[in-house]
Amino acid sequence: MNGHLAAGDWDDRYHHIDQILNNPGPRTDPSFMAGDEVKDFLRNKCKVLVIGAGGLGCEILANLALSGFKDIHVIDMDTIDISNLNRQFLFRPKDVGKPKALVAAEFIMNRVPGVKVTPYYGKIQDKDDAYYMQFTLVVCGLDSVEARRWINATLVNLVDPDLPESLKPLIDGGTEGFKGQARVILPTVSSCYECSLEMLNKPTAFPICTIANTPRLPEHCIEWASVLEWPRVHTDKKLDTDDPEHIGWLFSVASARAKEFNIEGVTWSLTQGVVKNIIPAIASTNAIIAASCCNEAFKIATSSAAFLNNYFMLIGTEGVYSYTFEHEKRKDCPVCGGESLDLKINKEWTVDRLIELLVEKQDIQIKKPSLSTPTKQIYFQAPPQLEEATRPNLEKKVSELVDEGGEVTVTASSLPFNLSLRISYI
Amino acid sequence: MIKIWSMKKNEDAAAKKKPKTSAAQIRVQKDLTELELPSTMKTFFPDPADLLNFKLTIEPDEGMYKGGSFTFSFAINSNYPHEPPKVKCIPKIYHPNVDLEGNYLFLEPNADDPLNKEAAEEMRKSREQFLYNVKTSMRGGSIKGVQYDKVAVA
Q: Write the pLDDT tens digit of every residue in A350-398.
A: 999 999 888 887 666 778 899 999 888 999 998 889 999 999 999 999 9
Q: Write the pLDDT tens digit of every residue in B119-146.
A: 888 888 888 899 999 999 999 999 988 9
Instruction: Give B-chain residues touching A197 at CB under 8 angstroms.
Output: 81-82
> Which CATH class, in words, describes the domain spanning A15-201+282-325?
alpha beta
Neighbours of A140 (CB within 10 A): 26
A245 vs B: CB within 8 A: no
Domain over A208-275 is classified CATH 1.10.10.520: yes
Domain spans of chain A, in order of start: 15-201+282-325, 208-275, 339-425
Q: How confident is the model at residue A337 (pLDDT cuts 50, 70, 90)?
A: confident
d(CA A413, nearest CA chain B) in Å: 6
Q: Write the pLDDT tens digit of every residue in A199-250.
A: 887 666 777 888 888 899 999 999 999 988 998 899 888 898 889 999 999 9
Cross-chain residue pair A374–B25, CB shorter than 8 Å: yes
Q: Measured between alpha carbons, how far is A50 from A57 in angstroms, rounded to an integer?
A: 7
- Enumerate residues 6+ apart whose C-beta is below 8 A from A191: A185, A310, A311, A326, A327, A328, A329, A330, A336
Cross-chain residue pair B22–A153, CB shorter than 8 Å: yes
Residue of B nearest to A208 (CA): B105
Instruction: Give A-chain residues touching B23 at CB under 8 angstroms.
Output: 149, 153, 194, 334-335
Rounded average pLDDT over B88-108: 82
CATH superfamily of A339-425: Ubiquitin-like 2 activating enzyme e1b. Chain:  B, domain 3 (3.10.290.20)
Please state at what angle helix A55-66 crosses helix A100-111, rounded to 10 degrees: 30
Question: In B, residues 110-129, which contact A (CB 8 Å cutoff)?
Answer: 113-115, 117
Q: Measured between alpha carbons, how far is B4 from A409 in angstroms, rounded to an integer?
A: 29
Specify the pLDDT at position A388.
92
Rounded average pLDDT over A41-66: 97
Q: How confident is the model at residue A133 (pLDDT cuts 50, 70, 90)?
A: very high
- In angstroms, the Cα distances linking B84 to A89, A202, A242, A332 are 36, 9, 23, 20
Specify the pLDDT at position B12.
46
Edge-first strand order for the sheet with A116-121 is: A116-121, A71-76, A47-51, A137-141, A170-176, A179-185, A311-315, A321-325
Q: Write the pLDDT tens digit of every residue in A35-45.
A: 999 999 999 99
Predicted confidence (pLDDT) at residue A150 exceeds the cutoff of 60: yes
- Beta carbons of B53 and B47 less than 8 angstroms apart: yes
Between strands A137-141 and A170-176, the pairing is parallel
Instruction: Give chain B's domains with CATH numbers.
Output: 21-147 (3.10.110.10)
Among A53-57, A395-399, A417-421, B101-105, which range has the highest average pLDDT? A53-57
d(CA A31, nearest CA chain B) in Å: 6
